[in-house]
Structure 1
C-alpha cells in the first residue's frame, strides 16, 4: 500500500486533471451567448467552430453539476488524506515522545531477535552433534 504522502500527491494530480477536464467540457459544450452589446452570436450551427458542440441547456447544466460533485468528492478525499498525516494534531513534544517510544520498542525487538539468533545457533550446534553421532551402516 502506498504511503499517505504518495496518496496525497496522486489525489492532487487527479484533482488537477479533473480541473482540466472541467475546463475542456465547458469550452467544448458551451452555448453561444453575448456578454456585451458589441458581441455577435452566429445564427446557424454551420457557422460555429468545429471544436464546439453545443449541448442543450439542461444537459450542459447536468454535466456541470456532475463535474462539480466529482471535484468536491476529490477535494474531500484530499482533506481526509491531509488530516490523516502524522503531526498535524501532535505537538513537537508529542512527536518526540512517540519517537522515543518507538526506539524503546525497537530495542526490545532487537533484543528478542538476538536471543532468537542465539537460540537458533544453539539448536544448529545440537543438530550438528546429533548428525555427527549417527553412524552409517
Structure 2
C-alpha cells in the first residue's frame, strides 16, 4: 500500500481527470436550449434505441438466411447491418462533434458526474486529515522527531550487538568444526 502522500497525489490526479472529462462532456454533449421567439434550428437528438429495435433487424436477417450468416443475397443483405456507424470528418477536416444528448439523459449524466466529484473530494479531505503532523505544533513535532532519533540509535546499537554476537558464534562454530577429527 502506498503512503498517504502518494494516495493523496493519486486522488488529486483522479479528481482532475474527472473534472476534465465532465467539462468535455458538457461542452460537447449539452442539449440545445430554446430561445423564446426564435425558431428552433437544433438538430433532432438521436432516438434512444430500444431492445426491440436493436434485435429486430438481426432476427430478420437470420430468418432470411435460415440462421446461416455466410449466405448472402447477390446484391447484399436485404436488411441494414448492425455495424457501428463511423462518422466522416467535416468538410474542414476536423472530426464532427457528437450529437447533443436528450435533456433527461444529459441531466442524469451531470448528476452522476457531480456525485463522483463530491465523493472524490471527500476522499481527498479524508487523506488530508489523516496526514501526520496536522493538529500538532512545530515544537511537538520536533520533540517527537528527537524521541524517534533516540529510539533509532538504541535499536541500531542493539542490532550492532546482535551482529557482533553472530560473528562470535560463527567463529566459535568454525573452531568446533575444525577440531572434529575425520574418521577414516
Q: TM-score, normalised by structure 2?
A: 0.66
Q: Secondary structure at the match of 2:19?
A: helix
Cα gap change, 1:116 to 1:87, in 2 (>3 Å): same
> C-alpha deviations, 1:93-130, integer Å up to 9, x for none?
11011101101210110121011011101111110111
Deviation at 1:53, TM superposition (A): 2.1
Structure 1 or 2, whichever has the larger Rg, is 2
Deviation at 1:43, TM superposition (A): 4.2
Match of 1:22 in 2: 22
Contact 2:22/2:113 (<8 A) preserved: yes
Contact 2:32/2:42 (<8 A) preserved: no
- Of residues 80, 84, 90, the one that matches 2:126 is 80
Aligned residues: 134
Contact 1:27/1:52 (<8 A) preserved: no
CA–CA separation in structure 2 for the residues paired with 1:87 and 1:5: 13
Note the residue ranges of structure 1 that are not aligned, 5 or more in a row: none
Q: Which runs of 4+ in 1 moved over 6 A?
A: none
Q: Secondary structure at the match of 1:45?
A: coil
- Of residues 108, 120, 129, the one that matches 1:62 is 108
Say what the alpha-carbon RMSD is for the aligned residues: 2.2
Q: Which has the higher helix share?
A: 1
Higher RCO, Cα 8 Å, sep 6+: 2
Match of 2:161 in 1: 115
Deviation at 1:28, TM superposition (A): 2.4
Match of 1:53 in 2: 99
